[in-house]
Amino acid sequence: MDRQGLSEHEAAARRLQFGPNALPERKSPSFFRVFLGQFLSPLIYILLAAAALSVFLGDVEDAGFIGVVLLANGLIGAVQEFQAGKAAAALRQMEEARAIVIRDGERQELPARDLVPGDLVCLEAGGRVPADLRLIEVNDLRCDESLLTGEPDAVRKWPRDDDQGDLRASTAFSGSMVTRGRGLGEAVATGLATEFGKIAAAISGSQSERPPLLVRLERFSKNLAIAVLVAAVLLIAAGWLRGMPLAELFMVSVGLAVSAIPEGLPVAITVALAIAMRRMARRNVIMRNMPAIESLGSCTMIATDKTGTLTMNELTVTDILLPDGSEITLEDHLRPQSIEEEPLLSHAHPQARPRMARLLRAACLPNEASLVSEEEGWRGLGDSVDVALLHAARKGGLIHADVLADHPLLSRIPYEPDLKYAASFHDLGDEIRIFVKGAPETLAAMADAIAIGEDDQPIDRALLAAQKDAMAERGLRVLAFAEGRIASGASGQLTGAHLAGLTFLGLAGMKDPLRPEVPQAMAACAAAGIGVAMVTGDDPVTAAAIAREAGLRAEDDEIVTGPQLAEAEAKGPAAVDALTAKARIYARVEPLQKLAIVRSLARCGHIVAVTGDGVNDAPALKNAHVGVAMGRKGTDIARESADIIVTDDNFASIVAGVREGRVAFANIRKVIFMLVATGAAEVLLFLFTVPLGLPMPLLAVQLLWLNLVTNGVQDVALAAEQAEGDELAQPPRRPDEPIFDRVMIRRIVFTALLMGGGGFALYYWRLQAGAPIDLIRNELLLLFVMFENVLTLSARSERASLFGRRFFSNPLLLAGVAITQLLHVGAMYVPGLSDTLGVSPVTLEEWAMLIAPAAALLLALEVEKALRRRFTPRRGA
């Protein structure tokens, strides 16, 4: 059993020789490719046709300008898309695989890429095999090799000494998943040399999913484009009937189409989502796929783990209780740094000490953790329950290695959440000794005696249950311990069947402090209309106590246990739904039952976020709208099944993620509003004028310019708006609610009418006054630049006033608006440009004449918001 593994020195040498244990990464597209990609759109082809037509008509200047617009648009789009892609790639890199190896005789965890051939690697259920391993020891080890073989069933693995010549049976292949058991193997191949590495190139096809929101909005953009094109064709027809020259009509229609079609929308949405991803990463939430942002934002129910998510997962044994009532309580003594200083047993009655020691022995033998000595005390490696028990044993004078030496290990049944216990079998020469630790009721069922006084006495299960409840009511996680023996001849297979007729030794209570930020996050959920349910494998009494502390109130009938759930499952979905409609706490549930809970909640119309960490949580994580894996405690399987990873395992981070999801969605609405309203206003202006046979209010190049300066960066800047602060003060959006809800449509129509109508009024009035058409166009273009900037500013919030305390919170947007305005006024003074654009400096009177309607628009938009604030309270509020 005593294995040394490689020395650090040797490992470093091999690392140089063999290189990192990693596959070459797929390169993300270069900037140039992204740039070229911008030109693959029908809109661009139309523009190119227009440029060609201009050249044909002898208007080389216009053609040149269209070329510049094309390049500028392409560049802006490419920069935005490239940045968004890079942000996503950076986030992917944070998901680095880790491996447990033995080097210099010590277990340690290190990045999987540092593995070298020859390393001794430990495998555990839930982990991804980090390299090709020849197995030396296995304990009920099963691997899912479907990634390599396509075979869906997990494959049983054997140690190399009894693989009967079948190399595959004794090799754990890199990339496969450990679905059950434990194993120890020697790395024989790493990186590209592994079987997986050899075929990885074939597997790693592009599989980047497009967010449904993006798909939906792309479809929407397309429909809008069609509408604009229809409008353009109508314009051409109407103009032609009015006897306008076709070439001019065509050019203007192209300009109009390009300006009014929100071609920047998909990019802006990608940017909004990418920004949300980055903000979430700052709050310890890593999105594994973009669609989850939307689901997270509209989530209505969070089904959360208890241990590690609501609590710190820093367990400390605070109570030890023997069946006769003798106890040690260390309430005020959490986590002493130096274990030896605290002779635990001195707190117990002298007569009880031997039995306490006996209990502690059963705590440290069926135990897979280890304590590593470090400068500032001892650090545990492994399951937190196991670590806490080793700490306690050590405080009681039992040193793990010594106890193991006295009790040579024959075999163990490792802890799995569905078993709720762990056991180990030890060779004591003339007999085999069994030690078990686990859930009290499970162990009480295995035992028929209790250790009281000198001798064992018949078991009193009611007494044990009462003792357990008393501890659990204090919020402690309670574990029980038992011991038994079998004749050494009776070896054969040592299995769970031998766990009968044991002697029950007593209980240990462990404290796991609540995360301090949890009560506040719970309150936020309540305000945000998000239900919270706790799902735990732990005892209902403990669960209820912790829930109370966390601020999650649950009446007795809101606590559902695993067996109750199983009963309902047998009766059918309706019975399960009746339970989940009320339940706030699910206790003693089997991990696989989480799936039934998730399915039922979804049936009842919830958008469910569910947390998980173990192998058996994977189905629930996959089936939930938002699968949330724990970054620290979570297994590889859980992480890979999840949509998001919470790196600090913290419930409060999930809530922060919900908030960012809502912010992202609100920002997308703002972008859509701004883009669609400006486009509609421009179309409207022409629909007012052309059928009347009036001269074109704006030229094609002017429309292109308008589009470039007012939408180019403003859409993306809007997508980056900060949270408004009330995101969690309203109920979740219904997921089936269209983005184009009534509020959105009404606001777009209102705004477009104001802008299009206002523009037309100015145009008509100036025309009647006999002003030259070039001058009118110059004024109208300036007016529209101001209109659209005003609109962008006002679009920063759907409800809140622009002049709130958040005015300066989006410097990019403010700068964009200011620069646009300066750019446009500047263009009036630049000789070549002003001719091409048909603009010229405006007089003070003209300024006054134009600023007035722009200010009026701002006022109207803000008044509309104020009225809505006043008369239509928040949905559901």
Binding mask 478-507 for ligand ADP (x = CB under 6 A): -x----------------------------
762: β partners = none
Q: What angle do CA 145, 151, 155 make, to 5 degrees?
A: 55
Least distance from ligand ADP to the Cβ atom of residue 294, Å: 29
Separation of alpha carbons 394 and 391, rounded Å:
5
Partner from ligand ADP, Mg ion, none contacting 305, C-beta within 5 to 8 A by type:
ligand ADP
Footprint on residues 133-162 left by ligand ADP (CB under 6 A): none
Q: Cβ 368 to Mg ion, closest distance in Å?
A: 14
Q: Which residues of 54-88 are buried (b: 16+ CB within 10 A; e: fewer)?
A: beeeebeebbebbebbbeebbebbbbbbbbbbebb
**114 in Cβ contact with 131 (< 8 Å):** no
Burial class for 105, CB neighbours closer than 10 Å (0-12, 13-18, 19+): exposed
Tokens found for residue 13: 């040498």
> Is residue 303 within the footprint of ligand ADP (CB under 6 A)?
no
388 binds ligand ADP (CB under 6 A): no
What is the end-to-end Cα distance of the chain in Å, rounded? 65
Task: Indicate the pairing of strand 377-381 with strand 409-413.
Answer: unpaired
Site string for ligand ADP, 788-827 (x = CB under 6 A): ----------------------------------------
Query: CB under 5 to 8 A by kind: which of Mg ion, ligand ADP, none does 327 bind?
Result: none
Q: What is the closest distance, in whole angstroms, from the C-beta atom of residue 654 to ligand ADP in the complex?
A: 16
Which residues make up the interface to Mg ion (CB under 5 A)?
Answer: 307
Of positions 128, 394, 420, 670, contacts ligand ADP by CB under 6 A: 420
- Segment 516 to 555, residues that bind ligand ADP, using CB under 6 A: 536-539
For ligand ADP, the binding residue among 35, 173, 421, 760 (CB under 6 A) is 421
Three-state DSSP class for residue 173: coil
Q: Which residues contact 801 (CB under 8 A, 6 or more apart)?
A: 862, 865, 866
Q: CB 612 → ligand ADP: shortest distance, Å?
A: 10
At 332 the three-state DSSP class reads: coil
* Least Å from the CB of residue 631 to Mg ion: 15
| Amino acid identity, position 472 | A
Q: Rounded distance, CA 272 to CA 259, Å?
A: 21
Nearer to ligand ADP, 426 or 477 (CB): 477
Q: Which phi and psi (to 5°) does residue 122 adopt?
A: -95, 135
The listed partner (Mg ion, ligand ADP, none) that binds 383, CB under 5 to 8 Å by sort, is ligand ADP
- Would you state the structure tokens that stand for residue 493, as one six-digit string? 């297979």
Residues 6+ apart with CB under 8 A from 166: none
Q: In the chain, helix, strand, coil percent, each to 5?
A: 55, 15, 30
| Torsion, Cα of 277, 280, 286, 288 (10° steps) | -30
- Residue at shortest CB range from ligand ADP: 537
- In angstroms, what is the minimal distance from the CB of 620 to Mg ion? 14
Among 305, 383, 386, 539, the one annotated catalytic: 305
In the chain, how many H helices and how many E strands? 30, 26
**Helix, strand, or coil (residue 271):** helix
**Residue among 439 and 700 whose Cβ is closer to ligand ADP:** 439
386 touches ligand ADP (CB under 6 A): yes
Residue 859: CB minimum distance to ligand ADP, A: 57
536 binds, among Mg ion, ligand ADP, none (CB under 5 to 8 A by kind): ligand ADP
Which CB atom, from 420 or from 639, has the smaller least distance to ligand ADP?
Answer: 420
Q: Decide if residue 307 touches ligand ADP (CB under 6 A).
A: yes
The residue from 18, 35, 82, 415 that contacts ligand ADP (CB under 6 A) is 415
Question: The tokens of 230 are what?
Answer: 């229809």
Contact partner, 361, from Mg ion, ligand ADP, none, Cβ < 5-8 Å per class: none
Residue 608 CB, nearest approach to ligand ADP (Å): 17
Catalytic, 649? Answer no
Query: Which residue, 307 or 542, is less far from Mg ion as judged by CB?
Result: 307
Q: What residue has token string 């032609």?
A: 240
Q: Mark 546-580 as b/e (b = at least 16 C-beta within 10 Å).
A: bbeebbbebeeebbbbbebbeebeeeeeeebeebb
Backbone angles phi, psi at 82, to 5 degrees: -65, -45
Using rule CB under 6 A, residue 306 touches ligand ADP: yes
Return all residues near 293 (Cβ < 8 A) that are at least 6 apart. Answer: 211, 273, 276, 277, 280, 287, 660, 661, 664, 665
In this complex, which beta carbon is closest to Mg ion, that of residue 190 or of residue 307? Answer: 307
Shortest Cβ 88–Mg ion spacing (Å): 31
Q: What is the nearest approach in angstroms of ligand ADP to the Cβ of residue 625?
A: 21
Complex with Mg ion: residue 119 or 383, whichever CB lies closer = 383
* Total residues in contact with ligand ADP, by rule CB under 6 A: 20
Residue 306 binds: one of ligand ADP, Mg ion, none (C-beta under 5 to 8 A by kind):
ligand ADP
Q: Please classify residue 160 by burial: count the beta carbons closer than 10 Å to its beta carbon, then call 0-12 exposed, 13-18 middle and 19+ buried.
A: middle
Whose Cβ is closer to ligand ADP: residue 311's or residue 836's? 311
Residue 386 interaction partner, one of Mg ion, ligand ADP, none, beta carbon < 5-8 Å per kind: ligand ADP
From CA 630, how far away is CA 642, in angstroms rounded? 9
Binding to ligand ADP in span 422-461, by CB under 6 A: 422, 437-439
Q: Which is nearer to ligand ADP, 85 or 417 (CB)?
A: 417
Tell me the closest approach of the beta carbon of residue 719 to ligand ADP, in angstroms: 39
What does the alpha-carbon distance between residue 71 and residue 833 come to, in Å, rounded to a whole number? 16
293 binds, among Mg ion, ligand ADP, none (CB under 5 to 8 A by kind): none
In the complex, least distance from residue 423 CB atom to Mg ion, rounded to whole angstroms: 18
From ligand ADP, Mg ion, none, interface partner of 421 (C-beta below 5 to 8 A by class): ligand ADP
Considering the complex, state which of residue 50 and residue 508 has its C-beta at the smaller distance from ligand ADP.
508
Return the one option of ligand ADP, Mg ion, none that residue 479 interacts with (CB less than 5 to 8 A, by type).
Answer: ligand ADP
Closer by beta carbon to Mg ion, 307 or else 810: 307
Residue with Cβ nearer ligand ADP (18 or 421) = 421
- Binding part of the chain for ligand ADP, among 150-158, 214-222, 304-312, 850-858 by CB under 6 A, reads 304-312
| Closer residue to Mg ion (CB): 307 or 689 | 307
Helix (H, G, I), strand (E, B) or coil at 53: helix
**Cβ density class 333-353: b for 16+ within 10 Å, e for less:** eeeeeebeebebbebbeeebb
Which residue sits closest to Mg ion, CB atoms considered? 307
- Our finding on whether 416 is near ligand ADP (CB under 6 A) is no
Report the sign of the C-alpha dihedral through residues 171, 177, 179, 185, in that order.
positive
How many other CB atoms sit within 10 Å of the CB of residue 647?
18
Q: Does 383 bind ligand ADP (CB under 6 A)?
A: yes
Residue ranges in contact with ligand ADP by CB under 6 A: 305-307, 383, 385-386, 415, 417, 420-422, 437-439, 477, 479, 536-539
Please identify every residue annotated as catalytic.
Answer: 305
